[in-house]
Structure 1
């Protein structure tokens, strides 16, 4: 019996959601369809992929290994079917500035595709904070930037948002908040909070906290996403972070669960920025066109 992409997608959603019921909602299908698909997978592989418990679905050692391959398969399928800018003989260089989060969790896959589409284009990448990027764009040190557009306020820059990454509450597996029907900032404020500081994350979070009577009970401030992941997974605190940096497992192999807070939490917007009224070179236009096609952004200035 062969394995289908449908089964792999159902498996990945269940692994990420931790519950068949949540995976069914995420995929808009029945729970029985997911259960059947997972049983078929386990029969083909010859090993249990999950340990079923009252708290949900926990991956076995075989399940964690299969999840790694499943992500790789789905990424390859997406790459093969994605709309790409046709390869051409565009030559030249392009200086691109990007922030830490963007370089770590967004850009690498796109840079590989750009290199394949434009093999003669030399893309020079620089990691900087937002303030340095803005100054560099205005002084023409960088042609274009990829950053969190929700943080850009300089009126001399133009921005174009490509995607909005939803922010959710991260908690440890079996955390008591998972038992509540509704969790808002009031309930979150009563938990030890791990505050990420990189890319102005702390400043951004305080903007939505300040609209409420509550404040996070911060026990650690860190610039490391992996530190947040490990602290949360080990039950030492909670955090609100975007889906773009979400991985459901810590480095120690412990699971992270997520909740959607009942209070409004703004998404993390990722996109492009350039100097307002800048004269676009062919390289800049190709770079922007690639992202517009990839994220289905209308081709307008």
Structure 2
């Protein structure tokens, strides 16, 4: 038995004949003449070595072998159709797996908004998040374990491409009982005399170094600095009444008991960029679809208003 002689057209023709119950009706459905269709079925029976159809005066019926072959042939055709559809979707960035590197305060607002918008557009794409710092994201991108990453302060990397997706302002996180918490705005000179909680310890360059440059440009030397690993730890310490911290707009969505957020004065205000980074040689439709989704949202992301200062009821000591 030379099974390599069985071709897809044999399967399509046979399935059509069984479903239509006659050669004539099947030929009309397939837009072929009846004699070639009959020859293809005969050829298929010769290859398999068993009769597949019983000819009746009013049409044809499958034999027991023919009925089994019909079921399997139909499944094969459905699988081929499914494979073609999946390939087509993948080719248009609508199917597959997207590995996204995340880190820092953007996980509280910007990144979830972008991912939700992408999933709304492409619900068949599996999005997997990986919590990696900048160094880890760069390594994972080069090892092709990530498709795209989000982070800040990227240096020039010849094989990687990065672009700004959001610009955020700085705010001061304080405990509601702190003497400065009632101010509508704060200056760097005011907070430089306080115990500052900054983050992350690594990698460098980091948010800490950017903060120190900002203070030094204003001629301010912070008195006490405590370094922690991330913004969540920093705001948690603020919530406990230990020091104050500087956070971006996204981190103001982190609502811990007793914490209020006060913007910097306009003359001291600084902005920080959130970037997307990906491999320059990655031209996949999946990545392009994700980048387009994020770019379409860029204006609304940077224009988004900073969360308002919590009301007095939200800052009541009884909830701390």
CA distance in 2, matches of 1:123, 1:255: 32
Equivalent residue for 1:99, pick from 94, 98, 103: 103
Q: Distance in 2 between matches of 1:201 and 1:296?
A: 24
Matched, 1:206 2:212: yes
SS of the aligned residue for 1:210 comes to helix
What CA distance in whole angstroms lies between the structure 1 residues aligned with 2:210 and 2:274?
A: 14
Contact 1:168 1:261 survives alignment (8 Å): no
User: Aligned partners of 1:121, 1:212: CA distance in 2, in Å?
Assistant: 47
Given the superposition, is the C-alpha separation of residues 134 and 177 from structure 1 closer, same or farther in structure 2, using an over 3 Å criterion? same
Which of 149, 152, 155 is residue 153 of structure 1 equivalent to?
155
Q: What TM-score, normalized to structure 1? A: 0.58
Q: Which has the higher helix share?
A: 2
CA contact (8 A) 1:232 1:256 kept: no
Distance (Å, rounded) in 1 between the aligned partners of 2:126 and 2:259: 40
Rounded Cα–Cα distance in structure 2 between residues aligned with 1:180 and 1:89: 49
Distance 1:229 1:272 in 2: 25
Q: Deviations over 1:231-263 (max 9, x none)?
A: 33454322211111014742xx32414131455
Look up the SS of the partner of 2:238 in the other structure: helix
Moved more, 159-168 or 223-232: 223-232
State how far apart, in whole Å, the 2-side matches of 1:263 and 1:89 are.
45
* Cα distance in structure 2, aligned partners of 1:187 and 1:220: 17
Runs of 4+ in 1 over 6 A off after TM superposition: 179-182
Q: Normalising to structure 2: TM-score of the pair?
A: 0.55
Q: 1:247 to 1:114 in 2, by over 3 A?
A: closer
The whole-number CA distance in structure 2 between the counterparts of 1:181 and 1:141 is 45
In structure 2, list runs of 5 or more residues that go unmatched: 1-91, 301-320
Aligned pairs, how many?
Answer: 205
Which secondary structure does the structure 2 equivalent of 1:123 belong to?
A: strand
Matched residue, 2:288: 285
What is the deviation of 1:225?
Answer: 2.9
Shift of 1:126: 1.9
Aligned to 2:130: 126
Q: Who is 2:264 aligned against?
A: 260
> RMSD over aligned Cα, in angstroms?
3.0
Larger Rg: 2
Q: CA deviation at 1:152?
A: 0.5
Distance 1:257 1:89, change over 3 A: closer
- The within-5 A match list for 1:50-89 is none
Unaligned runs of 5+ in 1: 1-87
